Every structure is written in C-alpha cells, then in structure tokens.
C-alpha cells in the first residue's frame, strides 16, 4: 500500500439544502464524516481536489488522511452523490476508522501480461465476472488493486480467488466457495454468421427482384401482342 493521500476540508457551520447549495456555489462540495467514536462532522471539500481523487479507481479502497480544523482523521470514502444529469459531485461521505480496524472494502481488479495469454493470442476474450472483489482487511493495509496474471492461460481457463496472492491479514468476505473472477472465453462467431446471413439475404432478394422483373416483361409482351 502506498503512502496515505491527504484531503483537506473545512468545517461547515450549518447544514441543510440551502447551506449545501451555498457551499457548492463557493467551489466546495458538502460532506459528512462519521464513525470511529466521533461525533458526525459537517465538512466542505474543495471541488477540484475531491474530483481528482474521486476519479481514481481506488477511491473507495484507499485510506485517506483527512485534515479538518485541528483534527487529522483516517477516513475511507463511503459514498458519492452525483447530479442525475451532469454527474457532478454533489455530496461526499467519509467513514472515520482506526488504523488497525478490520473493514470490508471493494478492491478493483487489473489484468497483467495480456500479450502473453495463449487464449487471447488465439482470438479469445476476457470474460470478467468481477471487476471488484470485496475484501476484509486492516484499514492501514488495504491493497490498491488485485493483480491477475494472464500469462500462459488458454481458452477455457478460469481465475479463481484461490489463485490470487493476497497480502497478509487480507481475506475475501466470501469464504464459503472458491469464486471465479474471470475466464478466458472462446471467440464469438455470431457476428460472422450474421454477416453471412445478411449477404445471402441480399443475394436472394436480388435474385427475386430479377425474377419479378422478368415476369413483368413477359406480361408486357403479351399485352403488346394482344
């Protein structure tokens, strides 16, 4: 786990819809901090600073140092409320935790060595069953991501949680089965079949059109003879 990132915040003197709107107009995002035996704190975080962190894949799986007033708290981002149309951040929730507390966190999955995966070289595709895996881990030892090595895997092979090297003290919250994270699936031929069918359909229609045209010409000749 890398060094903790720092987020600075200011205390908000009032809450409610009107106060939240005023906070956003001033370039800040309203938020709340709760947990870890503290009274809930209403805070405001600078919009651009929060946006930079929120766009990281590990935002919800990273322990931050939150500096608010004369306090410094270890926190996890627990919720982002977004505008339904623009997706702009409207509100943020942080959970204050003790550094050695055990917590459940969704950790993103990344794939390594795709160029050395036999199945992908043969035209297969990665079928991702879980983009994230929920892990139980110490708050001060949250892995930023789970790295899955694809080297040597062939079509039909699967990656299960048992094949992932987890840091010491970190365990999956699902502990009653060896669940699948991803598989190497065979290439689909549906598009090729559909394309062939379309071509045949076009050719058939063209032949039908030609036949109709011929019949029309014959009828015209008969009419002319009569």
Q: Where in the chain is the domain with CATH 2.40.240.10?
A: 5-98
In what side-by-side order are the strands of the sheet with 171-172?
Answer: 146-149, 102-112, 132-138, 171-172
What does DSSP say about strands 63-68 and 89-96: parallel, antiparallel, or unpaired? unpaired
Give the list of residues 6+ apart from residue 170 with CB closer than 8 angstroms, or none.
135, 136, 137, 138, 141, 143
In the predicted structure, residue 203 carries a pLDDT above the cut 50: no
Looking at the DSSP bridge assignments, the partners of residue 125 are 185
The confidence score (pLDDT) of residue 189 equals 61
pLDDT tier at 70, thresholds 50, 70, 90: confident
On whether the pTM is more than 0.95, the answer is no
Q: Where in the chain is the domain with CATH 2.170.120.20?
A: 103-185
pLDDT 10s digits, 14-26: 777 888 899 999 9
Percent of residues, the chain, with pLDDT higher than 70: 81
pLDDT tier at 57, thresholds 50, 70, 90: confident
What does DSSP say about strands 158-160 and 5-11: parallel, antiparallel, or unpaired? unpaired
Segment 188-193 long-range contacts (CB within 8 Å, at least 24 positions apart): 188/125
In the predicted structure, residue 214 carries a pLDDT above the cut 50: no
The confidence score (pLDDT) of residue 190 equals 53
CATH 1.10.510.10 fits 103-185, yes or no: no
pLDDT 10s digits, 189-201: 654 444 555 555 5
pLDDT tier at 208, thresholds 50, 70, 90: very low
Mean pLDDT of the chain: 84
Two tokens at 48? 């651009």
In the predicted structure, residue 202 carries a pLDDT above the cut 50: no
The confidence score (pLDDT) of residue 128 equals 96
Cα separation of 123 and 189, whole Å? Answer: 11
**CATH number for the domain whose boundaries are 5-98:** 2.40.240.10
Cα separation of 105 and 173, whole Å? Answer: 9
Cα separation of 67 and 101, whole Å? Answer: 20
Angle formed at CA 57 by CA 131 and CA 50, multiple of 5 degrees: 150
Cα separation of 71 and 12, whole Å? Answer: 14
Strands (E), 83-186: 89-96, 102-112, 125-128, 132-138, 146-149, 158-160, 171-172, 180-185
Name the residue with higher pLDDT: 184 or 217. Answer: 184
Span 102-131, average pLDDT: 95
Q: Which residue stretches of 95-182 are H helix?
A: 118-121
């Amino acid at each position: 786990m890398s060094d903790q990132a720092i987020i600075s915040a200011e205390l908000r003197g009032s809450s409610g819809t009107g106060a939240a709107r005023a906070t956003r107009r001033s370039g800040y995002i309203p938020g709340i901090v709760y947990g870890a035996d503290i009274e809930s704190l209403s805070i405001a975080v600078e919009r651009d600073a929060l946006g930079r962190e929120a766009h990281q894949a590990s935002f919800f799986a990273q322990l931050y140092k939150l500096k608010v007033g004369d306090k410094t708290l270890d926190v996890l981002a627990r919720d982002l409320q977004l505008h339904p149309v623009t997706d702009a951040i409207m509100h943020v929730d942080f959970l204050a935790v003790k550094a050695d507390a055990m917590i459940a966190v969704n950790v993103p999955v990344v794939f390594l060595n795709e160029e050395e995966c036999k199945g992908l070289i043969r035209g297969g595709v990665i079928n991702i069953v879980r983009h994230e895996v929920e892990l139980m881990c110490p708050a001060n030892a949250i892995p930023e991501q789970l790295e899955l090595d694809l080297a040597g895997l062939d079509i039909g092979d699967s990656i299960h949680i048992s094949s992932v090297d987890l840091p010491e003290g970190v365990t999956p919250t699902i502990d009653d089965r060896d669940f699948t994270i991803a598989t190497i699936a065979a290439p689909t031929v549906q598009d090729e079949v559909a394309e062939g069918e379309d071509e045949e359909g076009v050719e058939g229609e063209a032949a039908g059109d030609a036949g109709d045209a011929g019949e029309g010409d014959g009828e015209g000749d008969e009419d002319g003879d009569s």
